[in-house]
Each structure stands twice: as C-alpha cells, then as structure tokens.
Amino acid sequence: MLESVTNGLEVSIMRVTNKMIMNNSASNINSAKEVVNTRNKQMTSQKRIDKPSDDPVIAVRSLRLATTLSQVSQYYSKNIPDANQWLDITETALINIKDVATDCKTICVGGSTDSYNSQSDRKTMLTQLESLQKALFAEGNADYANRTVFTGYRTNSNLTFTEDETKTKYRIDQTLSIEDLMEEHRYYSGNVVVPTTEAEVIAPKDNATLISDITETDYYRLRLNYKDIDSVNSINIKYEGNTSDTPDISFAFTETNGVYNDDTSGGALTSNGFSLRVYENETDWANADTTDKVKKVENNEIVFIRQTGDIIFGDTVASTLKTNKAELAVQYDKTGFKEGQLRPEYYYNCTKMIDSTGATLTSNNEYTKFDANGNVIHFDIEYTIAANQTIAINTEASDVFDSSLQRDLDEMMNAVQRVIAAYDKLDTIQGMKSETQYASDEDQEWLDKWQDAAQKEYDYYNNNMRKLFDSEIGNIQSYCDKITLALTDLGCKEQSLSLTKVRVGDQRETVQQLQTENDDVDLSQIIIDYTAAYTAYQASLTAAGKLGDSTLLNYI
C-alpha cells in the first residue's frame, strides 16, 4: 500500500500486482465459463433448471405441476378408459340377457294363443325354453380382465354355479313381501293312467280301478327362489307397522346337530290361530286328503311344499296377510345346486354350511346382503375419474335380475310337458279304439270313458298352459323393464364419463402448458443467450492472453 500527500490530502494507492491481475482474470474466465456451461445445459435439455438449487421457486412449482399432471394423466389415460370398458362389458351382458327374456316373451305370446296347437310345435317350444333357460344367466358370469362384473367387489367369484354341485349346502334367509309377490296359482289333482290291457280297460266296471278325474284348485301362494328344499327351519310373519322383534305369526322347527326336522305328519304347527303343514311334494299333499286325493288348504292353514318351494295359503290366511300388508321371512336349508343357478350369497343373508367337496365349513362362510333393518348392503366398485370425483362402475346382479325368471321358465316347461303328456295319453286311447282287441261294444264304451277323462285332463292342462303363458307376458315384460332401467343407468354413467373425459383432457392440456412455461426455455432465446455467453467467454480468454504477454521487460 503506497501513501502520498497531494494538496494537503492523504491519498492511499493500492498496489496492483501481476498476480492479482491474473487471479482476477482467472476468476472472470471461470465465471464466464459457468455461464456458458449453464446456457449449454439449458440449450441441450431445454429446461430452465438442472437442480432445485438453481431456482427453488421454479423447482417447487415444477414439482406441484408434475404431481398434478401425473394425477390428471392417470384419470385420463387409465381410470376413465378402464371404467368405460367395464361399463361396455356390463351393457353387452345386460343386452344379451334382455334378448333372452324377449325371446321368452315371444314364446309366451305364441303359447297363450293357438300358435302351438300340434304336438311337434309344443315339443319345439319346450326345446326352445330349455335352451333359453340355460342361456339366461350364462351372461351373469361376464367378466372384464378376469373380474366378474355383476358380483360386487367379489370379482374373483362367479355369479352362477358353473357346474352341478350336489353336495353344496346353504342355509338361506329370504324375505318376501305379501303385497308385491303373492299370486294366485292353479293346482291340479288326479292323473289319468292309460290302460294297457282289455282287463284294465273294463276294470272300473267292478270298481277295481277308478278312472282318475282331474280336479283344479286355486290358492294364493308365495314362491321361494329355489326349489328342492331340504327343510323349512322357520317362518316369521310381521304385519305392517310392527317394529318390534316379535313377529305376529311365527313357526319354528327344532334343530338337532345342525339339521332341522320340519316333519308335520304328527300334527301341524300353530301360531296366532293359523297352522302350518309341510309336505315333500304335491303328491304327498294330495294324499293327505284320504277321501278324494285332492290338494286342499284349509282356510286358516299354510302349506309348504319342499319340492317346489311353494308357500300356499288358505283363504282366511291370504286375506289376513294382504289386509295387513304382511312381510314373510323364511329360513330354509338347501343342498345341491344345478349349473346356471344363481349363488345365494349375492341375493340373501345366508351361511354356506358344506362346500362342493362335502367338507363342513365353520368359518368365513357367512354372507350378509341385508343389514339389521332390512336395508340392502351394496358392494360398489368406485373409480376416481377426476379430482374429488368418483363413479360406481359396477351393476350388482341383485339390482337387475334374480331367480324369478328361472323359476318362471321352470313352470312354463312343466306346463308344456303336462300338455304333451296329456295329449300322448289321449292319442294312445284314441288309437286303442281302432284296435281289433278292443272292438267289443263294452270295450268301446269304456274306452270312450277313458277318452273323456284323458280329454278333460288335456283340456285342463292346455288351458293352464295358455293362462300361465298369458300371465308370463306381463312378468317377463317387467323383467325387461328392470333391465332397461339398468341399461339407462349405464348410459347415464357413460355420458358422465364422456363429459368428464373432455373436462379432464382440457385440464391435462392446461397443466401441460403451465408445466412447459415453468420448466422449458425458448430455444431461440437460449441460443442467443448461449452465443452471447460464449462470446463473452472467448473475449475474456483473449484479454487474459494479452495481459499475460506484458511484463516489466517490455519497458526496460
């Protein structure tokens, strides 16, 4: 440091050495090189920053925009298309089921008129009904990416039994509304047995064999969604307005080692002035009338048929239940399910007691479809399709269809089979009248009586088939209406998805634009900046080089 006095002022003059100049030059060169390096990185990556410390504000904003873009892209590219495909699979399956139901309705229209008069026509109709029944709920197992679409969140299980399971046993709780489900039904007693010999033809003459006379009785009934029941365990009936835990009418059987004994041959169960009798099949029911062998229900009586799953009411019982808008809760056991039948766990509170191998289950075997208040528990699969927006993309089978249509087809086929069998009897007897072995007047007289009985049976069953098919037109239409409503709901969901996809797509473009403006650099501008930085760097190198050429020797 040099000091001097000028005009009375003391001035300090710093001594600058060559080393100091060279150090400053090197520092400036490095600074220029850093700028060149930064501009080079920006030009090659086209990004504003290379690491967060370059500009924390841009870095934070970039992270937020990247997160938002990732979420929006997930909605747009994966969630919404996946939901759309799920809805498409569901829609196709429902349309196919509706087509089957529509075909059933077409057959009903023909069966309720004179369209199926010949025996061959009736056999063709029976074959068609059998095929439609098999195809009916095959679509119920429709799946998307190996996930069944009608089974709620239990997507790894089929809706129906895919093969006969003769050992599988369920204990099922089913609740039936008297007002909605009670219907009048025709029951027939008597069966014409065609004689095969002359002795059998004239046997009624000596009262050795009576010609059966068919009888029709009409009663109100409820029908379970399954037939071939092992046992009815309990029936509890509540009138409208009864909010207590005590039913107005209650029948309960005794359980021993997990098996209920519902045998009422020793006497009917009684409750509140009404009685309950249980029969294995309709033949046992008819045989209970030891005099006429007619299927009868006393006014205050309820009859349960295990084979058909029918709960049949006497006139007084039916009137009382309808007046009080009663609800009937029945628990029953069923062993053995056929291929195509719906699994109970998707429709009822039930317990799977024995699996398909015959093994008894003691845990993880209870299924709940209704809560304690009787409200349906839904098993929705929800997709997030936008920020704070979800959509339930699955349609549960219980909301669209149940076993009622299957049971209707069963009864329609039984009705057709009865007509076919009755016509064969009539045709056989008519053929016997032309045979020489029955040419006597006595044989012809008795064959006329046999023919009259067979004709009456045929007329009854043919009339029953037409009435049944006529009533099924309305029933099947109600099933189709329910499916149509589900299809409409699917259409609304698809429309909502479409609108959401447009909105999310616009949002994605906006976020992408914001991300570009935040993260990316203008290529033309960065080229200019890079060129300027590189020029400055080259100039600093040139200046430093010239500075190094000058020493004290140049001035000596």
Q: Which residues contact 255 (CB under 8 A, 6 or more apart)?
A: 233, 261
pLDDT for the residue 54: 73
What digits encode the pLDDT tens for the residues 101-128?
A: 999 999 999 888 877 778 899 999 999 9
First and final CA of the chain: distance in angstroms? 24
Of the pLDDT bands very low, low, confident and very high (cuts 50, 70, 90), residue 63 is confident
Q: Which residues sit opposite 133 in a β-bridge?
A: none
Q: What is the pLDDT of residue 524?
A: 77
Q: Which amino acid is at 387?
A: A
pLDDT at 526 exceeding the cut of 80 = no
Domain boundary among 378, 409, 426: 378
pLDDT for res 551? 61
pLDDT in the model for residue 211: 82
pLDDT 10s digits, 410-437: 999 999 999 999 999 999 999 999 999 9
Q: Which strand (E) or helix (H) includes residue 514?
A: helix 441-519
Q: Give the span between the Cα atoms of 489 and 414, in whole angstroms.
A: 36
Q: Answer whether residue 332 shows pLDDT above 90.
A: yes
Q: Is residue 443 part of a domain?
A: no
26 and 172 part of one domain = no
Reduced DSSP (H G I as helix, E B as strand, rest coil) percent helix, strand, coil of the chain, to 5: 50, 20, 30
Residue of 88, 93, 89 lying closest to 137 (CA atoms): 93
Question: Token pair for residue 336?
Answer: 């053995």
Q: Which long-range contacts (CB under 8 A, 24 or more apart) does 33-39 make?
A: 33/537, 35/533, 35/536, 35/537, 36/530, 36/533, 36/534, 36/537, 38/533, 39/526, 39/529, 39/530, 39/533, 39/534
**pLDDT tens column, 452-495:** 999 999 999 999 999 999 999 999 999 999 999 999 999 999 99
For residue 401, is pLDDT > 90? no
Mean pLDDT for the stretch of residues 535-539: 82
Q: Which of 391, 457, 448, 447 is nearest to 422 (CA)?
A: 457
Q: Which of 347, 378, 409 is the last residue of a domain?
A: 378
Digit-coded pLDDT (tens) for 199-244: 888 888 776 567 888 999 999 999 999 999 999 999 999 999 998 9
pLDDT score recorded for residue 389:
92
Asked if residue 329 and residue 201 are part of one domain, the reply reads: yes
What ranges make up the beta strands (E) of 371-521?
382-386, 389-392
How high is the mean pLDDT of the chain?
A: 89
Domain boundary among 345, 378, 411: 378
Q: Which residues contact 267 (CB under 8 A, 6 or more apart)?
A: none
* Conformation bin of residue 309: beta by default, left when phi > 0, alpha when psi is -120 to 50: left
pLDDT given at position 39: 74
pLDDT in tens, 260-295: 999 998 899 999 999 999 999 999 999 999 888 999
For 299, residues 6+ apart whose C-beta sits below 8 A from its C-beta are 314, 315, 316, 317
Q: What is the predicted pLDDT for the residue at 126?
A: 92
CA distances in angstroms from 32 to 36, 69, 215, 532, listed in the order given: 6, 37, 113, 10
Task: Please give the pLDDT value at position 9.
Answer: 60
- Determine, yes or no, domain membership for 302: yes
Q: Which of 158, 162, 228, 222 is nearest to 397 (CA)?
A: 158
Mean pLDDT of 69-98: 93
Judge whether 530 and 36 are in contact, CB under 8 Å: yes
Q: Among the listed ranges 136-145, 226-235, 391-400, 446-455, which one has the minimum average pLDDT value? A: 136-145
- Name the more confident of 184 and 531: 184
CB contact set of 103 (below 8 Å; sequence gap of 6+): 128, 132
Where is average pLDDT lowest: 67-71, 456-460, 466-470, 546-550? 546-550
Q: Which amino acid is at 373?
A: N
**394 domain residue, yes or no:** no
Rounded CA separation 16/2 (Å) = 11
Residues 248 and 272 sit within 8 Å (Cβ to Cβ): yes
Q: Would residue 317 count as lying in a domain?
A: yes
Q: What integer pLDDT is reported at residue 29 of this predicted model?
A: 79
What's the Cα-to-Cα distance from 374 to each of 23, 232, 329, 344, 368, rounded to whole Å?
A: 89, 21, 11, 17, 11
Residue 212: name the closest of 177, 188, 237, 246 by CA.
188
Find the domain containing 3 and state its range: 1-45
| Structure-token pair, residue 128 | 């068609």
Specify if 265 maps to a domain.
Answer: yes
Least trusted range by pLDDT, from 50-64, 127-141, 490-504, 535-549 = 535-549
Residue 309 clears pLDDT 70, i.e. is over it? yes
The tokens describing 51, both together, are 């690491």
Percent of the chain past pLDDT 70, that is, above it, reads 94
Task: Indicate the pLDDT class of residue 247, thresholds 50, 70 and 90.
Answer: very high
Query: Residue 153: its pLDDT value, please?
Result: 86
Q: From 411, 531, 446, select the one nearest 211 (Cα to Cα).
A: 446
Residue 334 belongs to some domain of the structure = yes
Q: How many domains does the chain have?
A: 2
Task: Give residue 8's pLDDT.
Answer: 59
The answer to whether residue 275 sits within a structural domain is yes
CB contact at 8 A, 281 and 254: no
Higher pLDDT: 543 or 125? It is 125
What per-residue confidence (pLDDT) applies to 547?
67
When pLDDT is cut at 50, 70 and 90, the band that residue 47 belongs to is confident
With 60 as the cut, is the pLDDT of residue 4 above it?
no
pLDDT at 227: 95
How far apart CA 544 and CA 21 sit, in angstroms, is 9
Report the alpha-carbon distance of residue 165 to residue 12 in Å, rounded: 109
Weakest-pLDDT range from 15-29, 351-365, 421-435: 15-29
Kind and range of the H or E run holding 320? helix 315-323
Backbone angles phi, psi at 439, to 5 degrees: -80, -15
Same domain, residue pair 39 and 183: no
The amino acid sitting at 282 is E
Return the structure tokens found at 190. Answer: 């008597």
Residue 447 resides in a domain? no
Q: Give the pLDDT band (50/70/90) at residue 516.
A: confident
